[in-house]
Amino acid sequence: MKTLYVAIIAIPCIIAASVMWYLTSYDPTPVTTENNFGVNVLVIHSPLYMECPTEDCKQPDYYLKINSKSKVLLEGYDICDGNSCIKKDGIAIPLPVLDVLHPDYAKLPLPNDLPWKDGDSVDIQVKVPNSSMIGNVLYFDLSTPSTWVDLGKSEIVRSS
């Protein structure tokens, strides 16, 4: 009889916890593979000894190296290796436009506690405003929410 009471109390608690987890982690933002802005992303591993002149230097080990072929604001990123993920949302960083003669990129620091290694494969998504291309002109749709663009798999590269 005691087990029945415990089950009657435990099962609704488990269901309620599952529903709460789903509601708090659900992101209604649509995901697409259409990369209208030509966003280029790479995760760079920069060990301390390569960029830090002293032992007390506090620089991140990993960076997101990013630019685009068109003017766009980066509103978020989501990077996963299958075991761990980092997600940043609610930012507004203008991305440098790719220029073959004068390459430029933004270098965004990532958290230091990542269990990643050189050569690991990661899936990368970036959040950008909705847009459409008509002829050679890019139009932003400010009336709809932004979109997560799935850039697919990438390999973590060691900084040179």
The answer to whether position 2 is within a domain reads: no
- Within a domain: residue 10? no
Place of tokens 């390569």: 50
Neighbours of 77 (CB within 10 A): 23
Residue 14, domain member (yes or no): no
The tally of CA atoms less than 13 A away on the side-chain side of residue 32 is 12
- Each residue's pLDDT expressed in tens, for the chain with a length of 160 residues: 677 766 677 676 677 665 565 555 555 667 888 888 899 999 999 876 555 565 666 677 899 999 998 888 899 999 999 889 999 998 989 888 888 788 789 999 998 888 998 999 999 999 998 776 667 676 677 777 788 999 999 999 988 6
24 occurs within a structural domain: no
Q: Is residue 101 part of a domain?
A: yes
Q: How many domains does the chain have?
A: 1
Comparing CA positions, the residue from 142, 38, 31 lying closest to residue 87 is 31
User: Which one, of 81, 141, 144, lies nearest residue 116 by Cα?
Assistant: 81
User: What residues make up the domain containing 141?
Assistant: 29-158
| In-domain check, residue 77 | yes
Q: What is the domain-level CATH number for residue 48?
A: 2.60.40
